[in-house]
Chain A
Amino acid sequence: MIFKGRVWLLLREGKLIDDIDTDMIFHNKYLAITDIAEMGQYTFDNLEGYKDFAKKAQPGDIVITGQNFGSGSSRQHAVDCFVALKTVCVAAQSFGAIYKRNAINSGFPILTIKQIDLSKVKSGDIVEMDSEAGTIKKDSSDIGKLEPLSTVQKDILKAGNVFEYAKTL
Chain B
Amino acid sequence: MGKTLVEKILAAHADEDVTAGKIVWIRIDVRSARDFGGANVVKNFRKYYPGEKVEDLEKTFFTFDCNVPANTIPYANNQQICRNYAKEQGIKLYDVDAGIGSHVMIEEGIGYPGSTVVGTDSHLNIMGAVGAFGQGMGDQDIAFVFKTGKTWFEIPGSIVVNIKGYLPETCSAKDLTLFITGKLGTKTALGKAIEFRGPAIDRLDLAGRITLASMATEMGAIIGLVVPNKEVLDHFGQKEALLPDEDAVYEKTIDLDISNLKPQIAKPPKPDAVVDVESLGGPEIHSVFIGSCTNGTYEDMVKVASIMKGRKVKPGIVATLVPATMKVWKRLLKEGHISTFIESGFVVSNPGCGGCASGQIGMTGEGQVHVSTSNRNFAGKQGAGATYLASPETAAASAILGRIATLQEVE
Contact = CB atoms under 8 A, between A and B. Distances in A.
Interface residues of A, number: 40
Given A105-B144, A106-B138, A76 B187 contact: no
B23 A74 contact: no
B186 interface: yes
Contact of B136 (A74, A94, A105, A152): A74
A98 B36 contact: no
A28 B381 contact: yes
Interface stretch (B4-12, B71-79, B166-174, B312-320): B71-79
A151 B23 contact: yes
Interface string A65-80: 0011001111110010
Nearest to B145: A162
Contact of B186 (A19, A22, A34): A19
B122 A76 contact: no
B187 A98 contact: no
Interface in A122-169: 150-152, 161-163, 166
Contacts of A100: 191
A152 B152 contact: yes
Contact of B141 (A27, A34, A102): A102
Contact of A102 (B48, B140, B379): B140
B121 A19 contact: no
B138 A166 contact: no
B211 to A, nearest CB: 19
Contacts of A120: none
A7 interface: no
Contact of A32 (B44, B48, B77): B77
B342 interface: no
Interface in A32-82: 32-34, 46, 48, 67-68, 71-76, 79
A74 B74 contact: no
Contact of B187 (A22, A67, A105, A163): A67
Nearest to A20: B378
Contacts of A34: 39-40, 43, 78
Contacts of A67: 186-187, 190
Contacts of B39: 34
B144 A102 contact: no
Contacts of A23: 376, 378-381
A101 interface: yes
Contacts of B75: 32
A68 B152 CA distance: 21
B379 A48 contact: yes
Contact of B138 (A32, A33, A76): A76
B36 A31 contact: yes
Contacts of B43: 34
Nearest to A151: B23
Interface centre among A27, A31, A32, A151 (most CB of B within 10 A): A32
B139 interface: yes
Contacts of A33: 74
Interface in B28-63: 36-37, 39-40, 43-44, 48
A101 B220 contact: no
B121 A74 contact: yes
A160 B122 CA distance: 25
A29 B358 contact: yes
Contacts of A94: 187, 190-191
B358 A28 contact: yes
A68 B78 contact: no
B222 interface: yes
Interface in B99-148: 120-122, 135-141, 143-144, 148
B74 A32 contact: yes
Nearest to B42: A34
Given A31-B358, A74-B136, A152 B154 contact: yes
Interface in B346-383: 357-359, 376, 378-381
Contacts of A46: 379-380
A71 B39 CA distance: 22
A19 B377 CA distance: 13
B186 A68 contact: yes
Given A23-B378, A24-B378, A46-B379, A161 B140 contact: yes
Interface of A: 18-19, 21-24, 27-29, 31-34, 46, 48, 67-68, 71-76, 79, 94, 96-98, 100-102, 105-106, 150-152, 161-163, 166
26 contacts: A19-B270, A21-B376, A23-B376, A23-B378, A23-B379, A23-B380, A23-B381, A27-B380, A28-B357, A29-B358, A32-B75, A33-B74, A34-B39, A34-B40, A48-B379, A72-B217, A76-B140, A96-B220, A97-B191, A102-B137, A105-B140, A105-B141, A162-B140, A163-B44, A163-B140, A163-B144
Interface of B: 23, 36-37, 39-40, 43-44, 48, 66, 72, 74-75, 77-78, 120-122, 135-141, 143-144, 148, 152, 154, 186-187, 190-191, 217, 220-222, 270, 357-359, 376, 378-381
Given A94-B191, A100-B191, A102-B140, 9 more contacts: A24-B379, A28-B358, A31-B36, A76-B37, A97-B222, A98-B122, A101-B138, A151-B23, A163-B140
